[in-house]
Structure 1
Amino acid sequence: MKQEDLEKLLYSMSLEEKINQLSQLTGSLYLEGAELTGPLKEQGITEKEMQLAGSVIGTFGAETVKKLQERYMEKQPHHIPLLFMMDVINGFKTVFPIPLGQGATFEPELSEECARAAAKEAAASGVHVTFAPMADLVRDARWGRVMESTGEDTYLNSCFAKSMVKGFQGEDLGKKDSVAACVKHFAAYGAPEGGREYNNVELSEHTLREYYLPAYQAGIKAGAALVMTSFNTLNGIPSTGNKWLMRDVLRKEMGFDGVLISDWAAVDELIRHGYCENAEEAAICSLEAGVDIDMVAGIYAKRLEKLVTEGKVSEKLIDESVLRVLQLKNNLGLFENPYKGADEKEEKKWCLCEEHRELAKKAAEKSFVLLKNEEQILPLDTKKKIAFIGPYTDSQKILGAWSFIGDSEDAVSIKKAAEEVFGSEKVTYSKGSLLLGDKVHMEGFGRSFSESAGKEEQERMLEDALEKAKKADIVVMTLGEGFLQSGEAASRADIRIPKIQRKLFKKVWKVNKNIVVVLFTGRPLDIRKISEKAKAVLCVWMPGTEGGHDVVDVLRGVSSPEGKLPMSFPYNTGQVPVHYNEYSTGRPSNGNDERFCSRYLDIPNEPLYPFGYGLNYTRFSVSPIQLTYGDERGQIKVKVNVKNEGDRAGTEVVQLYLQDVAASMVRPVRELKAFQKVTLLPGQSTEVDFEIGEKDLRFFDEQGRYISEPGKFKVYVGFDSRTENKAEFILLPEEKLIG
C-alpha cells in the first residue's frame, strides 16, 4: 500500500478505531471465544475492544493465527490486519544458546544466522514481531536478565544488536520468512540499583551516552522496526513517560521513526511509580512521550477517547502513532497478505529441522568458555573410566528461561549424547543430588520447576554418586543454577550454585580429585570455591536444543572450546557490579598492600575471570605490536603475528583495546575496539591486522560533544582484557595519528 493510501485509511477511521490500533491484548483472550465470560469479564475487556485491538501478544501456530486473523478482519471496520507479537529470544522451536552465550562466541555473524533461522520458524508459525534483541548493557550479575544480553561491553553489544536485527528482519521485512525486530529496553534497563529487577537506575547523562545508548543505536541503525520502553525509572523518571528520552534522544537524535511499544503494562506502572496519579495522567504522559502501543494495560483503549473529547490530548498525537502502526503493518506486507508467512507446511518444514539443529549445535559449541584446565585434563582420555555426576547429567532443561516456545523434551541431554559415543563398560552416570533442593518450587513464563525427594532417597543418590566417583579415573560434574534462576524477575543476592550441589561437589572431591566441572548458567556465578578444587571448569551457559551433543564433543576433543567471556565472573558476589573497562582512580591499588588506595581488604579488586577470557586446548602466542602510521585516510595500521604453539588445531579471538592516557574527562583503563577470530593448525601462524582511526578515539566530553582530543594513547592486542602487549601513539591537534 502506498503512503498516500495509508494516510487516506487513517483519516477514514473513527477515533475509537484509531485508539484501539494502539492497544495490545493477550492472544489467549481470543482463544477463549467471543463471549465475555470468566477472565474476559473480570478484566473489563469489551467485545468491541477485542474487535478493534491492533495487536496481540503470545499467540503462535500457523493454523491458530490464520483462524484468528480471519475472524478478526471480518469484524474490523476497515479490515485492517492484526499484528501477532511474541518473545522469540534465542530461538523458536529450535533453541540456540542464550544471548549471553552467543556473546561468548565473539561472532556476531553467527548470531545473525541464528536469528534468521528463528525468524523462519516464527514467521511460518504466524509471528510478525519478536521482542528482540535486548541491547541492554549489563555489569551486575545479580540481575537475572543478564542472560538475555550479550554482556558488559559497549562495542561487543553493538555488534550483536546490529547482527540480530539483520537476522530477524532479513533483506526485506515484507518477505514471508522475516519478522520485525524490537530493540529493547530503552533505556539503561541493565543497570538497576542493587541488581534488583524493575528497580531505579541512576546514571549520569555522560555514562548513559558513552556506554549504555550505543548498542540501542546500533540496532536502530540496522533498521529495527520497533523499540520497547524499559520498566525502570532513569534518574527518577519512568522510561515509559520520559519525553526527553523518547522524543529527544530516541526520535530526534537517533532518528528512530518506527513503532515505540511499552513493556508489559508499563503504562499502568506510571501510577505505581508515583509518577502519575491515575490512568488518565498515565495515558497522557505515555502518549506525549511518544509511546505508540500500550502493551496489555488497556489504558489507551479505555481513556484516550474521553481525553481527546475533553481537549486534554491532541488527536494529532494519536494520528502520528496510528500511522506508525499502519506503516509497520504495511512494511510487513499484511495488507496484501494478512497471514504473511503463516503456513502449516512451512511450519513443519522449518521447526526443529536438521539444518537448524546443526546450526544450534555449531552455535553452542562456539559459545563454551574453558575457564580452567589444570594438568590438561581436557580433552578427556576416553581410555579411562569416566563418571558423569550431577543434576544436569540427564537433564533436558537446558534451554534457558526465555525459551518457553521450545520444548525441553526436544533437547539432548549429556547422558543421551554420551551413550551415543562412549561404551557402557567405562562410563557411568549418577544424578548425585537434586538441582535446587527438596520441596523447591519455581514458576515463570508459564512454566514451573518442582522437585522433591525424601531424606533416604537423597542419601541413596549421594551414595550412588560417591561409589561411582571412587571407581572412576575422572569425574565430570554437571552443575549449575536452574533455568528459572535467571531471566526476568530472577535477581539473586547470592550467585553461587545451589547449596545442595556445593555439598555434592565437596563430597565427591574428597573421594576423587580429578574433577571436571561442566557449568550450566544464565549469568556469571561466584564459583571461586569450585574453581579452586576442580581441575577443569567448562562454562556452557544454557546451551539450547543440541547442548548435550556439544558438551560431549568438546569434552572428548572432537571439537575445541573457543568462547570468551562476554561478562566478567566475579571473585565473589561482593564485587558486583564488576567490569573490565572501569575508570582510572587517583589511588590505584597496583596489587600492593598499601591501605590508602582503592582496594578491598579481604578480596582482590580483579574478577576471578575477566572479560574476554577463555582457554583453548592448544596454546597461542602473539607478537609485539607493529604500528604503521599516516596512510591517506589518516589511519594507523596495527599488526601482530599470532601463532599456534600447541599440538592441535584451535581458534583464538584476537582482541584490540585502547586507552586514552589523559583527557578532559577520566577515561577507562581500556576499551575493546575490535576483534578477529583466527583458526590455526599446529605450528601455523598468521598476521592479524587492525586499523585505528580518529573516530575510534572519540568520547563524550563535559559539554556532551562527541569528540577526540590530542594526546597519547595506548593500544593493547592480546587474548583477553588483561593483556599487557601494548604500543603507544599520539593524536596531533590536526587529527593526525603518529608514533
Structure 2
Amino acid sequence: MTEIIPGLQGEIPSNSRKGVPYVGGKKKVAACAKHFVGDGGTTKGINENNTVTDRHGLLSIHMPAYSDAIIKGVSTVMVSYSSWNGVKMHANHELVTNFLKGTLKFKGFVISDWEGVDRITSPPHSNYTYSVQAAIQAGIDMVMVPFNYTDFIDDLTYLVKNNFIPMDRIDDAVARILLVKFTMGIFENPLADFSLVNELGSQAHRDLAREAVRKSLVLLKNGENKTNPILPLSKKAPKILVSGTHADNLGYQCGGWTIEWEGFSGNNYTRGTTILGAVTSTVDPSTEVVYRENPDSDFVKSNNFAYAIVVVGELPYSETLGDSMTLTMVDPGPSIIKNVCEAVKCVVVVISGRPIVIEPYLSSIHALVAAWLPGTEGQGVTDVLYGDYGFSGKLPRTWFRSVDQLPMNFQDSHYDPLFPFEFGVTTESVKELVSWSTSAGVHAKPSTLTIIVSVIITLYLTASNNWLKQK
C-alpha cells in the first residue's frame, strides 16, 4: 500500500533526502500513513481494541509499512485509537516519540484521530486535561478536535503556562507542521486551484477506476474443472437472469467511507454504473436481461435462462459498524444463491470489504468472483465476466472456511483455508483466444488433451502417407 504515496505526493527527486516529507506541486497532496501502530492486529479484529503481541511481533508484523512510508517521504502519520498491550497509542511516548520520530527518523508531523485524545480515558473525555497532557507528551503534533476546540485550547494553554508541557515540545510540533506546509507550498498558494475542478470525476478518472476494478477482481472458482470453465460468459445468450441484493445498488458497490461515512444504499447519491447496468450494456442487444432481486426457485426453473449472475455481499460499513463475529453476507443472499444456482448455471459475484463465509454455498456455485468494493464502475466487473479482459487478481489475504478458524494467517501451523493467500484463477481475454485461434486455424483455444490428440493424428497420417508412397 505504501506505493500509493508517490502517487499522492509525487516522486521524490533524486537529489532530495530520503525520509523527508515531499509534496511535488499544486497537483499533489500530502499523504497520511495510518493508523500507527498495530491497528490491524487487535483482538478478534474489533475496532479500537487491544493489540496483544510482544515488541518483536509489533515491529516485525505491524511496523514495516511505516518504515517504508517514511522512506517514500510520507508527510503525516495518524495515531490509532487502539492500544498495544493495554497502553493507548495516543498516549504511547515510547512508540510515537522514541521509535517513530527517533529510531525511524520521521520528520513530518503526527496527527491524532478524530477525538482520539478524548478516548485515552474511559469513558471518553472523563479527565480531559490529563488526556491532553498525555497525548502531547507522547508526541502528537496536531490534534483533531471536531467540536470542543475551546476546551482543548484552554487546557493546552494551562498545561504549557504551568510547565506541565515544556515549550520545546510545542516548538517541535510547530516546526514539524510548518515543514510540511512549506513543502506543500501552502504559504505561496494558500487557496485551492479551481482550474482542476473539471478533472474530478472526468472520463479519464472513471476509465482508470474501471481498470482498477477489473485488475483487482479475484476469480475463486470457474467450473468444476479446468476443461469445463463457466467464464467467460456469452454475450449472445437468448435470455439471462441478474439477481441479488447488490446487483443494482451503487451504494453497496461503494461501501463505507465514500460519500457517506457509513456508506449508503441505492443509486441516488452518486453517478455510476451498477453491475446490472453493466451487464445490460455489455450483452448483445438481442439478449433478454431479466432482473429479479430475490427470485424463487420456481421462477428460475420456469424461464429457461441460459445462465444467471448473482450479486450478493455485505452491507456498507466503516469502523465499529463493521465489527462482526460472524462475517456473513446479508440476507437473503444465501437463499438467493440456493434458489438460483440449484436451478441454472450461475456466476456469484461477492461484494465485500473482506472475506466472508462462502463455503456452505460453494458446491452449488458454478463460478465465484470476489469483487471487493468496485465503487461506481460496475463495467470493470463485466469487462472480465464477459472476457474482454482476463482475470489476473490474486487474494491479498487468506479466505477462511469458517470463522472458527480465525485468526489464521499464511504459514500458520493450522493453516487450512478455503482459498489460500495469493490464490486466484487466471483467464485470458476473448481477444487473446481469438488471436490464438486465428493463427492456429481453429475456433477456440484447445485443451492440452486436444493438442496431444492432434499431434498423434498428424503423426499417424504422415506415417500412413509415407507407407502408401513406398507401396
Q: Deviations over 1:110-135 (max 9, x none)?
A: xxxxxxxxxxxxxxxxxxxxxxxxxx
Counterpart residue number, 1:413: 274
For the pair 1:295 / 2:150, whether they are aligned, the reply is no
Q: How does 1:285-434 map to 2 (within 5 A)?
A: 285-296=134-145, 298=149, 300-339=152-191, 342-348=192-198, 350-374=199-223, 375-384=228-237, 385-397=239-251, 398-404=253-259, 408-423=269-284, 425-433=286-294
Q: How does 1:60-75 map to 2 (within 5 A)?
A: none
Bigger fraction of residues in strand: 1
Counterpart residue number, 1:544: 375
Residues 241 and 270 in structure 1, CA contact (< 8 A), matched pair in contact too: yes
1:210 is displaced (CA, Å) by 1.0
One-letter amino acid of the structure 1 residue matched with residue 271 of structure 2? D
* SS of equivalent to 1:272: coil
Q: Deviations over 1:116-173 (max 9, x none)?
A: xxxxxxxxxxxxxxxxxxxxxxxxxxxxxxxxxxxxxxxxxxxx21x11111111461
Counterpart residue number, 2:409: 579
For the pair 1:508 / 2:314, whether they are aligned, the reply is no
For the pair 1:529 / 2:390, whether they are aligned, the reply is no
Q: How does 1:217-236 map to 2 (within 5 A)?
A: 217-236=67-86
1:321 is displaced (CA, Å) by 0.7
One-letter amino acid of the structure 1 residue matched with residue 51 of structure 2? V
Counterpart residue number, 1:607: 417
One-letter amino acid of the structure 2 residue matched with residue 165 of structure 1? I
* SS of equivalent to 2:289: strand
One-letter amino acid of the structure 1 residue matched with residue 233 of structure 2? L
Counterpart residue number, 2:127: 278
Which residues of structure 2 form unaligned runs of 5+?
A: 12-21, 437-444, 447-471
Determine which of 83, 91, 94 is the counterpart of 1:241.
91
Determine which of 311, 314, 333 is the counterpart of 1:478.
311
* Distance of 1:304 and 1:253 partners within structure 2: 27
One-letter amino acid of the structure 2 residue matched with residue 607 of structure 1? P
Residues 469 and 508 in structure 1, CA contact (< 8 A), matched pair in contact too: no
Residues 387 and 468 in structure 1, CA contact (< 8 A), matched pair in contact too: no
* Distance of 1:290 and 1:189 partners within structure 2: 18
Bigger fraction of residues in helix: 2
1:227 is displaced (CA, Å) by 0.3
Residues 187 and 229 in structure 1, CA contact (< 8 A), matched pair in contact too: yes
* Distance of 2:334 and 2:276 partners within structure 1: 21
* SS of equivalent to 1:376: coil
Q: What fraction of aligned residue pairs are identical, expressed as a percent? A: 30
* Distance of 2:197 and 2:404 partners within structure 1: 47
Question: Aligned in 2, Cα 1:167/1:469: closer, same or farther, shift over 3 Å?
Answer: farther
* SS of equivalent to 2:31: strand
Residues 402 and 487 in structure 1, CA contact (< 8 A), matched pair in contact too: no
* SS of equivalent to 1:260: strand
Q: Deviations over 1:632-687 (max 9, x none)?
A: xxxxxxxxxxxxxx95799xxxxxxxxxxxxxxxxxxxxxxxxxxxxxxx89xxxx
* Distance of 1:409 and 1:323 partners within structure 2: 40
Q: Deviations over 1:388-414 (max 9, x none)?
A: 111222222212212227985312112
Q: TM-score, normalised by structure 2?
A: 0.82
Counterpart residue number, 1:67: none
* SS of equivalent to 2:210: helix
* Distance of 1:565 and 1:649 partners within structure 2: 29
* SS of equivalent to 1:190: helix
* SS of equivalent to 1:255: coil
For the pair 1:166 / 2:21, whether they are aligned, the reply is no
One-letter amino acid of the structure 2 residue matched with residue 394 of structure 1? D
Residues 313 and 352 in structure 2, CA contact (< 8 A), matched pair in contact too: yes
One-letter amino acid of the structure 1 residue matched with residue 107 of structure 2? D
Question: Aligned in 2, Cα 1:466/1:216: closer, same or farther, shift over 3 Å?
Answer: farther
For the pair 1:567 / 2:394, whether they are aligned, the reply is no
Residues 43 and 51 in structure 2, CA contact (< 8 A), matched pair in contact too: yes
* SS of equivalent to 1:185: strand
* SS of equivalent to 1:540: strand
Counterpart residue number, 2:16: none
One-letter amino acid of the structure 2 residue matched with residue 552 of structure 1? T
1:336 is displaced (CA, Å) by 1.2
1:206 is displaced (CA, Å) by 1.0
* SS of equivalent to 2:368: strand
* Distance of 2:419 and 2:434 partners within structure 1: 25
* Distance of 1:302 and 1:649 partners within structure 2: 72
Q: Deviations over 1:445-488 (max 9, x none)?
A: xxxxxxxxxxxxxxxxx34983477420211111111223x555
Q: Deviations over 1:284-341 (max 9, x none)?
A: 11111110111116354120111222222212211211121122221111111211xx
* Distance of 1:365 and 1:422 partners within structure 2: 17
1:383 is displaced (CA, Å) by 3.5
* Distance of 1:226 and 1:197 partners within structure 2: 22
* SS of equivalent to 1:402: coil
CA RMSD of aligned residues (A): 2.5
Q: How does 1:177-256 map to 2 (within 5 A)?
A: 177-256=27-106
* SS of equivalent to 1:388: strand
* Distance of 1:416 and 1:498 partners within structure 2: 22
Question: Aligned in 2, Cα 1:305/1:373: closer, same or farther, shift over 3 Å?
Answer: same
One-letter amino acid of the structure 2 residue matched with residue 521 of structure 1? S
Residues 297 and 343 in structure 2, CA contact (< 8 A), matched pair in contact too: no
> How many pairs are equivalent?
411
* Distance of 1:319 and 1:469 partners within structure 2: 75
